Amino acid sequence: MNAAEQPIFVLGILPRSGTNFLYNLLMLHPDCAPPDPVWEDFLVTHLDLLADYSDTVASEWDALWGVNEETRKHLDRSLGAGISLFLQERCNRPRVVSKTPRVESLTNFFRFFPDSKLLILVRDGRSMVESAIKTFGWRREPFLHALAQAARLINSFKNQASAHQGRFRIIRYEDLWQDTESALCDILEFLELDMGIYDLQAALNLPVRGSSELKTGSGEPIHWDPVERTADFDPMSRFKEWSEARHFRYNRLVGREMRELGYALKITGNPGGLYSIQGFWLDLAWTLKSLVRPVYLRLQRP
């Protein structure tokens, strides 16, 4: 399988990062199709399990047999090729697009898919957390901690994957939304997809799917039916009503990581008073939870 036939992997920093928007844009290309019927496959998310398997198997091999590092790499490439075949066999077009809104085990990606192209989608965390709360009822504090961890993982991957610079792109949702045509030209060129046969007008008029703005009430589930985009639809203003204290908490938990991904912060001073006390107790509660949770999980094992 040559480079132009390899699966395209799309990973989002977290759910609500816009992976469906990017995915639907790619689906407009005549050469792209999903691995039907798997909508989100989480294949990269659990590559750590495959890495453990590969390491355990290779540890049984005797060096006297002539086993070397290339033999181990061959095993990893073969395991990755099996996953690629799983995806491609469920695709009726030349390029299959794999999508997952998580980045766990990102550091193992090129170990198993050294010839594949990877798109990592990031988004302003303030928009993401508001969307996650409105869409799924998720809690703010755990989401922000998860966001910080995911952003650190992406930044570490970006800084350490110098040997693979030509095989992955980190894309900001905001750039894709605000200048769709320019962003798509860069993405399709990177993926070696012909821009000349792409329906750009359909991309510019792409309907909205799965947005938290489509919910009409707190008890209503989100739906994925296409809805025509209106002129006042603005997915980047979700946090415009944030207080100074909320910005301060966000900056404290994920500010450094999001700045490294190219996001400017609203710089605020310490709000002091009750907000400082609240922040102290939130930090303490999270630390205690982090310490207690592993013990609790061990006690639940049979």
From 229, 264, 220, select the one nearest 124 (Cα to Cα): 264
Per-residue pLDDT tens over the stretch 175-191: 999 999 999 999 999 99
Average per-residue pLDDT for the chain: 88
Q: State the pLDDT confidence band at 269, using cuts at 50, 70 and 90.
A: confident
pLDDT for the residue numbered 36: 83
pLDDT for the residue numbered 298: 57
pLDDT for the residue numbered 105: 96
Q: Which of 98-112, 244-258, 271-285 has the lowest mean pLDDT?
A: 271-285
Residue 34: Cβ within 10 Å count: 21
Give the mean pLDDT of 9-16: 97
Q: State the pLDDT confidence band at 232, using cuts at 50, 70 and 90.
A: confident
Task: Decide: 12 and 19 in contact? Cβ < 8 Å.
Answer: yes
Per-residue pLDDT tens over the stretch 53-67: 999 999 999 888 989
Identify the three-state secondary structure at position 283.
Answer: helix
Bridge partners of 294, per DSSP, are none
102, 126, 150, 247 from 253: Cα distances, Å: 19, 12, 12, 10
What percent of the chain lies above the pLDDT cut of 70? 87
Q: CA 202, CA 100: separation in Å to the nearest integer?
A: 24
Question: What domains does the chain contain, in order, with CATH numbers?
Answer: 3-235 (3.40.50.300)
